[in-house]
Homo-oligomer: A and B are copies of this chain.
Amino acid sequence: MDPRTLETLRTVGSQGGVTAAAAVLHLTPSAVSQQVALLQREVGVPLTERVGRGLRLTPAGEALAEAAVDVAVALERARAACDEFLERPQGVVRVSAFQSGAQLLLPALLTRVAGIEGITLECTDEDVAQDDFVALTDRMDVVVAHRPDDGLGWSGGRAVQVVPLLREPLDLAVPLDHPLAQHAEVRPDDLRDLPWIAVREGFPVATVLGAVGARSGETPRIVHRVNDFHVVEALVEAGHGVSLLPRYTFGGGARVRLVPLAGVRAGRRIDALVRRDRAERLVVRRVLDELRALAVDIDTA
């Protein structure tokens, strides 16, 4: 029962399959399958069960995977205990963020971390469906994710730590020459019968527009589904519809007008997701500290 094998089991569970887990762990599916089979023989309980052409963890498997988290945490804590005796912590930290979050946070984060000796940041932008952010933590140290203001938390359970960064309001984006562009704020009633540009179903903040529509009494008329906010901005600018855009990230531009919403709460929460074992690494902690401080700067600016 070695931690590598336990980690493999955990990944099979979180990724939902042998092949996906193998990709994350940089192994062949065969190796993953063999590891699980061996582990299964060792504990004498079935850990996985086939479902369709894939497989999922049995209750026993889930229990073991959960226990595996504590093993990984204890191991990283042991590493950290030694690092305390090294004068300067050292290592690379992989950070992923959804695009607009990356645009908002990563440049300043890189600047801040550049001042810290020994920490190397590797950044990536990842645009995934709402439910898939947690799975990214298997590949990344820090995952910057967003979710609707009112929505539930993340599904990672005890395995992932959620670090709240900031709340970003979503404003109505209209063309500069739109009638509503001159308003200081708009109320749900003003939004009737507008042509909306929304994000694809299942992606973060997709549900926010529905909540806003519910306040105006009718379901919004969605004419386009576009995930990239820059494309959205260009479409709005050209008069092809209105949309909801995050204030901090798109408030500065002159291409569209952002009008605050009143009488309805619209916003997104930006969180950092970290696997609990990764969170034990000293360098990861330092990066999270910087990220949190940065978020405070933005929020109070």
Contacts and interface: CB of A to CB of B under 8 A. Distances in A.
A142 to B, nearest CB: 22
Contacts of A43: 79, 82-83
Contacts of A64: 78, 81-82
A174 interface: no
- Chain copies in complex: 2
Contacts of A290: none
A55 interface: no
A70 B71 CA distance: 8
Interface of A: 1-4, 6, 43-45, 59-60, 63-64, 66-68, 70-71, 73-75, 77-79, 81-86
Nearest to A73: B74
26 contacts: A1-B75, A1-B78, A2-B3, A2-B4, A3-B75, A43-B79, A43-B83, A44-B82, A44-B86, A45-B85, A45-B86, A60-B82, A60-B85, A63-B81, A63-B84, A63-B85, A64-B82, A67-B77, A67-B78, A67-B81, A68-B78, A70-B74, A70-B77, A71-B71, A71-B74, A71-B75
B45 A63 contact: no
Chain A interface SS verdict (over half) = helix
Contacts of A70: 74, 77-78
